[in-house]
Chain A
Amino acid sequence: MYSDYAYLIVALPILAFVLTIFLGWYLPKGGGFFTILATFGALIISLGIFREIYPTNTIVHQSAPWFATFNFGILIDPLAIVMLLMVSFVCTLIHIYALGYMDGDPGLARYFAEAGLFTAAMLGLVLSDNILQLFIFWELVGLCSYLLIGFWYRKPTAASAAKKAFLVTRVGDIMFLAGIIILYTNLAKLNLVLPDGAYLLQFQTIYSNLALIPPNQLTYVALLLFGGAVGKSGQFPLHVWLPDAMEGPTTVSAMIHAATMVTAGVYLVARSFPLFYAAPHALTVVAYVGGFTALFAATLGLVMFDIKRVLAFSTISQLGYMMLGLGVGATVGATAVGVSMFHLIGHSFFKALLFLCAGSVIHATGTNDMREMGGVLKSMKWTGSCMLAGCLALVGFPLTTGFYSKDEIIVTAYENGLGANGWLPYVFAITAVLLTAIYSFRLWFLTFDGRPRSDYGKHESPWVMVGPLVILAICALGMGVPTQGPFYDYVGNNFEHYDLNFDELAVIGGHHVENEEAVHEPFIIKILPLVFCLGGILIAALFYSRWRKFDSSRISPKNDPIRHIIFRRYYLNEFYTGWFTETIVYGLALLTNAFDLKIVDGIVNKISELLVGFGGTVRKVQTGLIQDYITAIVLGLTVLLILIKLVMVVAT
C-alpha cells in the first residue's frame, strides 16, 4: 500500500520547496515546518515501504516513458531502501536542528526552500530506476549544494566556494555523462527487443545485458562512472571542493557531508556494482583510489585548526574507506556492497552528529578556530558527550557503529591483498586508522578539554539543537550491534533480485572468487585495527589532553617543511586554481579572443577594406540617372546567369 505512494518520497520535499520559496517569507520561521514535515513524510513512507518489502524480500518498481528512448521510474530494492531511510531520517533531524541554528537569518525561507530541494534531489537520486534519471538528480544535488554553500552570497568566500564546488564536481559529472553515453550506445548496438515497460538505460536492462557488451567498453564505462563518483564523493584528486564547502551554514555542511551529496558517489558505484565487477581492472582502480584517499585526507585532518575543516577531511577519508570497501569486492563479490553501505549509513549518523555538535559549539562560542576554544565541556555537557560518542564511532571503537564496518573493510582489504590486486590499499587503510584516531581525539581534546584559550560564549544550545544530537548519538553508538548481521545479509544480497550471474561476470572481469571459509586471517590482522585505534587515541591524549606529556610544537615546529606542505594541502589548490584554471584555461581563452579579433575578424575587415577601396573608384558610376542603373542591373543579372550556366557546364 505504501509502495503505491513511493513517488511522494520525492514529491513531498519538492512541494515543500515550492511552498517555502513563495510563501515562506510571510510565515514564522521561514516556513521551515513545510520542509521538516515533508522530509518526515518521506521518512514515514520509506518506513512503510520497508515494512512491506523487508519480510517478503521483494522490490518496488514503477516506470513510465519520458522522451525518445528514455524513461523515469522508481526502483526500491534493499540498496535503495536503506539509503532512503537514512537520508530522510538524518535530513529530518538536520532540518529540525536548523530551526534553532538558522533562527533569525533574513534568508530563512530561502534556506528551507533550498534544503527541501536538496533533500528531494537526494531522495530522487536514490530511488531512480535508470542511470539517466540518477544523473539528473545527481546534477540537481550539485545545484542545491551550489545554492546552499553560497547561501551567504554576500560573503565573497562563500560565493567562490560555491562556484568551486559546482565546477569541480562538474568535472566528475562530465565523465559520468560520457559514461552514460558510451553505455547507451553499447546497449543500443545490441538491438535488444525490450519487453513493455523496459527501457535501455534502466538498471535491470543494464544488469542483464552486461555479458553481451565488450569488456573493454565496460571498463571505459566503469572508469568514467567512477570519475563522476570521484567528483561527487570528494575522492583524490577531485576532493578540493569539499573542505571549502564549509563556507555554507553548518547544517548545510552536515547535509552535504553526512546524508546527501557525498554519499551519492558511493551509492553510484554500489548501484552499478555488477558493471564494475564485470569490467576488468575497474574495481582495482576503485580500491586504490579509495585507499589512497583514506590515508591522504587523514594526514590533512591532522594539521587543521578549523573544527569544521578537520571534519571535512575526515569525511573525505571515510569516503575513501567506503570506496575501498566496494573495491575489495573484486575478491569477495557482492557482499562488499553490504559492508560498504553499512559504513556509509553508520558514517552518515556519526558524521551528521559530529557536524551538528561542531555547529552547536560554533553557535555558542562564536568561533571556528580550535585554538580559541578549550574547556568547552564545562559549559556544554550535552554537546561534548555527544561529540565524544561521534568521535568514538568515527575511530571505530569496539561496539560502536564504525567498529563493525571499518574493521570488516580493512580485513577484506587484507584478503584482497592476498590475491593479485596488491597490498597498497590495505597498507593505506590500516595506516589511516591510526591517523583517524589521532585527529579525531586531537579535535575533541582541543575543543572540550583543557582551559579556555579565549573569551568565548559559554552556554548550552537550545533543545531543538541538542535533541537531534542525542538521537544521532544513540544511533552512532548503538546501531551497530543489533543491525549489523541482518544488514549485511539484506543489502549484500541486493542483486539477487535481478537477472544476473556473478560467476559469469567474474570470468569477464577476471576475478578469482575466494571461498569465504578458506581464508583465515592471522590473529594479528584481526586485532591490528583495534590496536591502531587505541594507540591513536592514546597519542592524541598524550599531546593534547589535560594529561599531556609532550608538546606538539616541539615534534613538529612551525617551520617544519612537511607540516607546511600538509598545511597548504599539498599545494593542490594552487595547482588547480592558480595554475590550471587561471593560467591554462583562462590564458587559452584570452589567446582565442586575440585570435578571433586579429585573425578571424581581421580577415573579414581586410576584405571589406579592399572592397571599400575598390568601391571608392567605382563610386563615380553612381550618376543618379535611372537609365544607367537599369543598364547596370541588366548587366549584373546577365553576368550572374552566365556564371551559373558556366558552373553547371563545368560541373556536368
Chain B
Amino acid sequence: MISNAMSLMIAIPLIAAIIAFINGKIARYAALIGSLISLIISLQMFQEFDRTSSVMQFVESYDWVPSIGVKYTLGVDGIGMPLVLLSTIVTLMVVIYAWGETKRPNQFFALLLLNEFGVLGVFTALDFFLFYIFWEIVLIPMFFLIGIWGGPRKDYAAIKFFIYTHVASLVMLLSIFALYFSYRTPSGARTFDMLTLIQATSDSTIFSPMLLNVIFIGLLIGFMVKMPAVPFHTWLPDAHVEAPTAGSVILAALLLKMGGYGLFRIIMPMLPNVSHHYITLMAIIGTVSIIYGGFMALSQKDIKKMVAYSSVSHMGYVMLGAGAFTWLSVEGAMFQQFSHGLITCVLFMTAGTIGHTTGTRMIADLGGLADRMPKFAFLMMASFLASLGLPGMCGFVAELAVLTGSYATLPIYVLIVIFGGIVVTAGYHLWAIQKTMFGPILKKYLDLHDPHSYELLSMSILVALMIYFGINPSPIMGIMHVAADQLVNGSVLTLAQMGVI
C-alpha cells in the first residue's frame, strides 16, 4: 500500500468537491471519479487489512500543533475499517442515484463529497482534536443539503438539525476538554491523543469515579443524539422528511453511524470503569429505541417518515449490543451499523423515487405501483424485507448476533425486544409495501413507469450487497470479531504500545 494512503483517501473527495464546485458542468463526473477513487483505495486497504490483528493499521501520525498536544493521527482497526468501506460505497451509490440532479449541481455534488470527507475523517481520526473537527465538518454540508434542496419546511428542519446536533457536540466537547485537562503524559505534556486518553480513564488516580461518570455522560449524550437514541431523536424525522433523497441517504447511512462509532471507539472502553448503572441506562435506551421507533414507524402516514423512524428502531440494536458487552453482541452491533447503512440507503432511495415519480409520499394516496414499476417494486420489496430482518439478508445476521449475544447479560431486555419489537417491525414494512405496491393500480398512476436506469442501478448494487453480506457475513464479521473481542476482554493500547508509531 502506498504511504499516506489514508490521507489520500480522505483528501480526494475534498479535492473533487472543489473541482465540482468550480465547474458545474463536470460536477457529477468529478463526484463520480472522486468517490470511485476513494472507494478503490478503501477496497485496497480492506484487502490488505490484517484480519487477525487488533492493532491500528495504516497509521499516519504527524505533529500538528505540538504546543497544545494536537497531532494529525489517522488509523483504522476492526471498528473503523468496515465503516470506512461503508462510507465510500454509500457515497458512490448516492452519486450514481443523484446523477440527474439539475438544481445547482455544482454545489450539490460538492456538498456530497464534502460530507464524505468529513465522515471518513471521523472514522479514521485518532486524535480528539482532529476527531472533533471532522465531526463538526459533517454538519455543514448536511445543513446546506437540507436548507437548499429541502422540502417545504426546510428552514425549520435544517436549523433544528444543526442546533440539536451541534449542542450535543458541544456537550461532547466539554467532556473531551475534561479528559484533556485531567491527564498529563509522563513527560508532563498535555495530549489530545485519543487512545492515550481513553487508556488513562482506567486509572482511578487520575480520573476519580465521579469525574469519570460526568465525562462519560457528556460523551454518551453526544453520541446518543447522533445515533439517534430515544428521547433525543426528534431532529431526525424532521430532517429526513425535508432533506433531498441523497441527503437523507447520507444522513441515515453515514451520519448516524458516527454515533455508533463513538460508542465502540470511546464509550465501550470506558464502560468497565464507570458506574454500572450506565449499562442499565444503555440497555433501557436501546430497548426503548427499538420498540418506540417501531411503533412510531407504524403510525406514520408519510413513507419517508416511516423509514426515518425505522432507523431509530434499528440503531437501538447498536445501543443494546454495545451495552450488553459480550463479544457476540458487540460484533452484532458493529455489523448492525454496517448492514443498516446498506439497507437504509435503499429504503430512502425507494421513498425518494416514489416521491418524485408520483408526486406524493403519503402511503394512503398510493396503490398498485408494482403494476407499472415492476423492477422498482422488486428492489423496494427486497430492501423492505431486508429491513424487517429476513434471513438471507444482512439485517438478520446483525440482529441475530445482537439478540443472541445480549441474552447472556441482559435476558429481560432481549425478550422485551423480541416480543415487543420484531412483529411490529414486520408489520409496518409489510403494510407499507401492500398499500403502495399491491392492489389495483390507481387511475392517476396509469402512465407511470420504472425510474431512471441510474436509480435502479444504484439500488440493485446495494440490494446485491445486502444479499451477499447476508449469506456470507464473514469478510466483515471476521475483522469485527477481533475488534469486539479486544473491546470485551482486552484493555486499550496506545499507538506506541501497539508499536505502530
Q: Residues of A with Cβ closer than 8 Å to B?
A: 65-69, 132, 135-137, 139-140, 143, 146, 150, 153-156, 159-160, 162-163, 166-167, 170-171, 174, 177-178, 180-182, 184-185, 188-189, 581, 585-586, 588-590, 592-593, 596, 600-601, 604, 608, 640-641, 643-645, 647-648, 651-652
Q: A154-B438, A592-B296, A604-B234 are known contacts. Are A167 and B430 too (CB-CB below 8 A)? A: yes
**Interface hit among B35-43, B415-423, B458-466:** B415-423
Is A67 in contact with B295, judged by CB distance below 8 angstroms?
no
Note all chain B residues with C-beta closer than 8 A to A143: 385, 390
Which one of A67, A170, A601, A648 contacts B423 once the chains associate, using CB atoms below 8 Å?
A170
Is A140 in contact with B392, judged by CB distance below 8 angstroms?
yes
Residue of B nearest to A139 (CB): B391
Instruction: For the complex of A and B, list the 7 residue pairs with the smallest distance between their C-beta atoms, beginning with the closest.
Output: A651-B211, A159-B438, A589-B299, A136-B391, A593-B299, A589-B298, A601-B234
Which one of A66, A182, A585, A592 contacts B407 once the chains associate, using CB atoms below 8 Å?
A182
Which one of A136, A146, A150, A154 contacts B440 once the chains associate, using CB atoms below 8 Å?
A154
Sample of 8 more A-B contacts, CB < 8 Å, known A154-B440, A581-B427, A608-B163: A68-B331, A136-B391, A153-B438, A160-B434, A163-B434, A185-B404, A585-B427, A604-B234
B424 adjacent to chain A (CB < 8 Å): yes
Residue of B nearest to A594 (CB): B299
Is A648 in contact with B182, judged by CB distance below 8 angstroms?
yes
Is B437 in contact with A178, judged by CB distance below 8 angstroms?
no
Note all chain B residues with C-beta closer than 8 A to A162: 434
Q: A139-B391, A593-B296, A600-B234 are known contacts. Are A174 and B422 too (CB-CB below 8 A)? A: yes
Residue of B nearest to A66 (CB): B474
Q: How far is the CA of A181 from the CA of B415 in the complex (A)?
A: 10
Size category, B interface? 35 or more
Note all chain B residues with C-beta closer than 8 A to A586: 298-299
Residue among B295, B328, B368 having the largest count of chain A Cβ atoms under 10 Å: B295
Is B234 in contact with A174, judged by CB distance below 8 angstroms?
no
Is B423 in contact with A174, judged by CB distance below 8 angstroms?
yes
Residue of B nearest to A110 (CB): B374
Is B299 in contact with A643, judged by CB distance below 8 angstroms?
no
Note all chain B residues with C-beta closer than 8 A to A153: 370, 437-439
Interface of B is mostly: helix
Is A154 in contact with B371, judged by CB distance below 8 angstroms?
yes
Residue of A nearest to B293 (CB): A592
A-B contact pairs, 10 of them (CB 8 A): A67-B473, A136-B396, A140-B391, A153-B438, A154-B441, A156-B438, A593-B299, A641-B177, A647-B211, A651-B210
Which one of B211, B408, B411, B418 contacts A648 once the chains associate, using CB atoms below 8 Å?
B211
Min CB–CB distance A649 → chain B (angstroms): 10
Residue of B nearest to A160 (CB): B434
Q: How far is the CA of A136 from the CA of B471 in the complex (A)?
A: 11
Min CB–CB distance A603 → chain B (angstroms): 8
Note all chain A residues with C-beta closer than 8 A to B177: 640-641, 644
Min CB–CB distance A112 → chain B (angstroms): 16
Residue of B nearest to A146 (CB): B430
Q: How far is the CA of A597 from the CA of B404 in the complex (A)?
A: 34
Is B474 in contact with A163, judged by CB distance below 8 angstroms?
no
Note all chain A residues with C-beta closer than 8 A to B144: none
Q: How far is the CA of A62 from the CA of B208 in the complex (A)?
A: 55
Is A592 in contact with B295, judged by CB distance below 8 angstroms?
yes
Note all chain B residues with C-beta closer than 8 A to A652: 208, 210-211
Residue among A181, A581, A641, A643 having the largest count of chain B Cβ atoms under 10 Å: A181
Note all chain B residues with C-beta closer than 8 A to A185: 404, 407-408, 411
Is B178 in contact with A648, judged by CB distance below 8 angstroms?
yes
Is A644 in contact with B407, judged by CB distance below 8 angstroms?
no
B279 adjacent to chain A (CB < 8 Å): no
Is A588 in contact with B295, judged by CB distance below 8 angstroms?
yes
Q: Residues of B with Cβ closer than 8 Å to A?
A: 160, 163-164, 174, 177-178, 181-182, 208, 210-211, 214, 230-231, 233-235, 292, 295-296, 298-300, 328, 331, 368, 370-371, 385, 390-392, 396-397, 400-401, 403-404, 407-408, 411, 414-415, 418-419, 422-424, 426-427, 430-431, 434, 437-441, 473-474, 477-478, 481
Note all chain B residues with C-beta closer than 8 A to A170: 422-423, 426
Is A644 in contact with B208, judged by CB distance below 8 angstroms?
no
Q: How far is the CA of A115 from the CA of B341 in the complex (A)?
A: 31
Q: How far is the CA of A167 from the CA of B385 in the complex (A)?
A: 13
Q: How far is the CA of A641 from the CA of B300 in the complex (A)?
A: 44
Q: A139-B391, A590-B299 are known contacts. Are A651 and B430 too (CB-CB below 8 A)? A: no
Is B404 in contact with A651, judged by CB distance below 8 angstroms?
no
Is B214 in contact with A647, judged by CB distance below 8 angstroms?
yes
Note all chain A residues with C-beta closer than 8 A to B422: 170, 174, 177
Note all chain A residues with C-beta closer than 8 A to B210: 651-652
Residue among A67, A155, A596 having the largest count of chain B Cβ atoms under 10 Å: A67
Q: How far is the CA of A155 from the CA of B434 in the complex (A)?
A: 11
Is B178 in contact with A154, judged by CB distance below 8 angstroms?
no
Residue of A nearest to B297 (CB): A589
Q: How far is the CA of A647 from the CA of B171 in the complex (A)?
A: 13
Q: How far is the CA of A91 from the CA of B452 in the complex (A)?
A: 39
Is A68 in contact with B439, judged by CB distance below 8 angstroms?
no
Residue of A nearest to B389 (CB): A139
Residue among B299, B385, B397, B411 having the largest count of chain A Cβ atoms under 10 Å: B299
Q: How far is the CA of A146 from the CA of B478 in the complex (A)?
A: 33
Which one of B164, B292, B396, B430 contacts A604 once the chains associate, using CB atoms below 8 Å?
B164
Residue among B210, B214, B391 having the largest count of chain A Cβ atoms under 10 Å: B391
Note all chain A residues with C-beta closer than 8 A to B424: 585, 589
Min CB–CB distance B393 → chain A (angstroms): 10
Is B181 in contact with A644, judged by CB distance below 8 angstroms?
yes
Residue of A nearest to B173 (CB): A640
Is B404 in contact with A167, judged by CB distance below 8 angstroms?
no
Is A600 in contact with B231, judged by CB distance below 8 angstroms?
yes
Is B430 in contact with A589, judged by CB distance below 8 angstroms?
no
Is A174 in contact with B419, judged by CB distance below 8 angstroms?
yes
Q: A143-B385, A154-B440 are known contacts. Are A136 and B418 too (CB-CB below 8 A)? A: no
Residue of B nearest to A586 (CB): B298
Is A150 in contact with B438, judged by CB distance below 8 angstroms?
yes
Which one of B164, B235, B427 contacts A167 once the chains associate, using CB atoms below 8 Å?
B427
Is A166 in contact with B426, judged by CB distance below 8 angstroms?
yes
Q: How far is the CA of A641 from the CA of B181 in the complex (A)?
A: 10
Is B296 in contact with A135, judged by CB distance below 8 angstroms?
no
Is A167 in contact with B441, judged by CB distance below 8 angstroms?
no
Min CB–CB distance A433 → chain B (angstroms): 36
Is A596 in contact with B214, judged by CB distance below 8 angstroms?
no
Is B178 in contact with A171, judged by CB distance below 8 angstroms?
no
Q: A170-B423, A596-B234 are known contacts. Are A68 and B407 too (CB-CB below 8 A)? A: no
Is A585 in contact with B298, judged by CB distance below 8 angstroms?
yes
Note all chain A residues with C-beta closer than 8 A to B427: 167, 581, 585
Note all chain A residues with C-beta closer than 8 A to B298: 585-586, 589
Q: A68-B477, A174-B419 are known contacts. Are A645 and B181 too (CB-CB below 8 A)? A: yes
Note all chain B residues with C-beta closer than 8 A to A136: 391-392, 396
Note all chain A residues with C-beta closer than 8 A to B437: 153
Is A156 in contact with B439, judged by CB distance below 8 angstroms?
yes
Min CB–CB distance B418 → chain A (angstroms): 5
Note all chain B residues with C-beta closer than 8 A to A167: 423, 426-427, 430
Min CB–CB distance A148 → chain B (angstroms): 14
Note all chain A residues with C-beta closer than 8 A to B163: 608
Residue of A nearest to B430 (CB): A163
Residue of A nearest to B474 (CB): A67
Min CB–CB distance A371 → chain B (angstroms): 28
Min CB–CB distance A238 → chain B (angstroms): 12
Is A644 in contact with B178, judged by CB distance below 8 angstroms?
yes
Note all chain B residues with C-beta closer than 8 A to A645: 181
Q: A68-B481, A163-B431, A585-B298 are known contacts. Are A643 and B473 too (CB-CB below 8 A)? A: no
Min CB–CB distance B388 → chain A (angstroms): 9
Is A166 in contact with B430, judged by CB distance below 8 angstroms?
yes
Note all chain A residues with C-beta closer than 8 A to B295: 588-589, 592-593
Min CB–CB distance A377 → chain B (angstroms): 37
Is B423 in contact with A596, judged by CB distance below 8 angstroms?
no
Residue among B430, B434, B473, B481 having the largest count of chain A Cβ atoms under 10 Å: B430
